[in-house]
Chain A
Amino acid sequence: MEYGSLAFQALAATIKIVFMILGFLMPLASILTWMERRESAMMQDRLGPNRANIGPFKLWGITHFMADAVKFLFKEDFVPPKAHKFLFMWAPIMAMAPALIVAAIIPFGPPLCWNELLEKNPVCGQPINLQIAQLDVGLLFYFAISSLAVYGATLAGWASHNKWAMMGGLRATSQMMSYEVTMGMAVLGSFLVYGTLEPGAIVAQQTHIFSLGHYHSSWGIFLQPAGFVLFLTAAIAETKRTPFDIPEGEPEIIGYFVEYSGLRFGMFFLGEFLEIVVSSAIMITLFFGGYHWGNTIDNALLSHLPNFVFVLAMFGLWTVKVFAFCGFQLMIRWSLPRFRSDQLMRLGWQRLLPISIANVVATALVVLWAQQ
Chain B
Amino acid sequence: MAVGVKVVNRPGSLAQQAYLPAIAEGLGVTFRHFVKNFFGNVTGNRKKTDIATMEYPEEKMKYPERNRGLHRLMLRDDGQVRCVACMMCPTVCPAHCITIVPEEAPDGRIEKRPMIFEIDELRCVVCGLCVEACPCDAIRMDTLDHAKPTYRRVDAILDKEELMSRGIQSTAVQGGVGAFWRERVGGQPQTPPAGAVVPAGAPHGPTPLRDHGHK
The residues of A with any CB-CB pair to B shorter than 8 Å are 39, 41-47, 229, 331-332, 334-336
Contact = CB atoms under 8 A, between A and B. Distances in A.
B30 A43 contact: yes
A101 B55 CA distance: 42
A335 B30 contact: yes
Contacts of A229: 20
Nearest to B39: A42
Nearest to B33: A43
Given A42-B51, A331-B27, 15 more contacts: A39-B34, A41-B53, A42-B34, A42-B38, A43-B33, A43-B37, A44-B33, A45-B37, A45-B49, A45-B51, A45-B52, A46-B52, A47-B53, A335-B27, A336-B26
24 contacts: A39-B34, A42-B33, A42-B37, A42-B38, A42-B41, A43-B31, A43-B33, A43-B34, A43-B37, A45-B33, A45-B52, A46-B53, A47-B41, A47-B51, A47-B55, A331-B27, A331-B30, A334-B30, A335-B23, A335-B26, A335-B27, A335-B30, A336-B23, A336-B26
B41 A332 contact: no
A41 B55 CA distance: 14
Contacts of B53: 41, 46-47
Interface of B: 20, 23, 26-27, 29-31, 33-34, 37-38, 41, 49-53, 55
Contacts of A44: 33
Contacts of A42: 33-34, 37-38, 41, 51
Contacts of B55: 47
B191 to A, nearest CB: 62
Nearest to B38: A42
Contacts of B33: 42-45
Contacts of B26: 335-336
A43 B51 CA distance: 9
Nearest to B23: A336
The 8 closest A-B pairs by CB, nearest first: A47-B53, A42-B37, A45-B50, A335-B30, A43-B30, A43-B34, A42-B34, A335-B26
A128 to B, nearest CB: 38
Interface of A is mostly: helix
Most chain B beta-carbon contacts within 10 A, residue among A41, A42, A43: A42
A143 to B, nearest CB: 25
A256 B48 CA distance: 43
A343 to B, nearest CB: 10
Contact of B34 (A47, A331, A332, A336): A331
A336 B20 CA distance: 11
A334 B34 CA distance: 11
Nearest to A337: B26
Contacts of A336: 23, 26
Nearest to B54: A47
Nearest to A339: B19
B129 to A, nearest CB: 39
Nearest to A50: B55
B44 to A, nearest CB: 12
A46 B30 CA distance: 12
Contacts of A46: 51-53
Contacts of B50: 45
A334 B53 CA distance: 19
A229 B27 CA distance: 15
Contacts of A334: 30
Most chain A beta-carbon contacts within 10 A, residue among B30, B31, B33, B41: B30
A44 B20 CA distance: 22
Contacts of A41: 53
Most chain A beta-carbon contacts within 10 A, residue among B20, B29, B34: B34
B130 to A, nearest CB: 39
Most chain A beta-carbon contacts within 10 A, residue among B20, B29, B41, B52: B41
A332 B22 CA distance: 12
